[in-house]
Amino acid sequence: MILPYMLRLLCLCFASFFVLNFAAGMLIRIASKSALRFAESTAARTAARFLIALRMLPFALATLGVLGLCVPSYFWLEPAATSERVGIVCVVLALLGAATWSVSIARTARSLFVSMRYNRLCRSSGQESYLLGEPSPVVLVESEAPLLAMSGLFRPRLVISRGVLRALSFEELHAALRHEHAHRTSRDNAKRLLLLLAPDIFPFVRPLRALELTWSKFAEWAADDQAASGDSSRAVSLAAALVHVARMGAAPRLPFLSTSLLACDRDLSARVDRLLQPAPIIHGPTDLARKPQAQLRIAAFLFAACLAAILLTPSTLSAVHKVLELLLH
């Protein structure tokens, strides 16, 4: 198949992305059991951050490889006035890469549409109300369903049903609201969007699904820890809220871009057990913690700058272009 200059580049981008994303994804899939064991041995917040970073790593590496190496080397070394034949292997890999992107874009668009429609429905059928101690209004739904969630992406709002308000005591409701605010502080709905956007390593196959599910579990545990903040009375109140809401019956189905108090009742007993035996937690960064974090960010930025300088040297780009030529033919 003979393609013009820009179509060859597009074909190479999709093919290169698929190869890099597939290779990195398979390596992480092989190492996932060890990664999950490591996550189980760390604090919930650290485990959640580690797992979301690990899940996004193939996407990040593939994107960096395409935009940072393939595209610059192609523009620098590929003659613009020529048309070349593209091999069948390159075309198949490009189609697979385009398919993985199409699937991720389609499911992201669908989830955004469902989330916006659900939020509009809640606002139209419910009413905004201020709860005691809440700085911003919540959406109060006239329903007996066990509904307490942080819904939305750009401006997430608390959605709560009348039934939950009546079922929980003041202390239990306060602890449950702190749990949802912890999700908002951690931007867990935005992280869910990233999981949707990250293309799978093969169309319609999700071998890294275990990482996503385990991240969701640790995100709930981290929100529980932040809501309790090492206070045993808050932990007991949150555990009681979880049990009372679970006893209200089946929760309504929520959009993926929402975080519910009872995200998964299969994890309910483990969450309650953790809350009844809470570990001490330092809530919020201290001055001593901020300094190492700032130094780590500076070191990461310098490392990325040095890596970019090394990768964008003429010899590196020339080697990448030779690899692209092999892939193209």
State the pLDDT at residue 302.
Answer: 60
On average, the pLDDT of the chain sits at 83
pLDDT band at 142 (very low <50, low <70, confident <90, very high): confident
Confidence of residue 281 (pLDDT cuts 50, 70, 90): very low
Q: Residues 191-219: pLDDT tens digits?
A: 999 999 999 999 888 889 999 999 999 99
Query: Given strand 127-129, what is the order of strands in its sheet?
Result: 127-129, 138-141, 157-161, 148-151, 258-260
Contacts of 292 (CB under 8 A, 6+ apart): none
Give the model's confidence band at 287: pLDDT under 50 very low, under 70 low, under 90 confident, else very high: very low
Q: What is the DSSP letter of 67?
A: I
Band (pLDDT 50/70/90 cuts) for residue 303 is low
Distances (CA, A) of 299 to 68, 236, 310, 311: 20, 41, 16, 18
Indicate the SS3 state at residue 46. helix
As given in the structure block, the two tokens for residue 74 are 């192609």
Contact of 24 with 61, CB cutoff 8 Å: yes
CA distance 207 to 25: 8
pLDDT tens track for 108-136: 999 999 999 988 888 888 788 877 667 77
Domain edges within the chain: 2-284+309-328
pLDDT single digits (tens) 89-103? 888 999 999 999 999
- The CA distance from 327 to 9, in Å, is 12
Task: Report the candidate in 168, 260, 187, 176 with the shortest Cα–Cα distance to residue 224.
Answer: 176
Lowest mean pLDDT among 67-81, 138-152, 202-216: 67-81
CA distances 162 to 165, 168, 231, Å, are 5, 10, 28
Q: If we measure between CA atoms, which residue out of 75, 233, 243 comes closest to residue 167? A: 243
Question: How far apart are the C-alpha atoms of 29 and 210, rounded to whole Å?
Answer: 9
* Distance from C-alpha of 45 to C-alpha of 274, rounded to nearest angstrom: 14
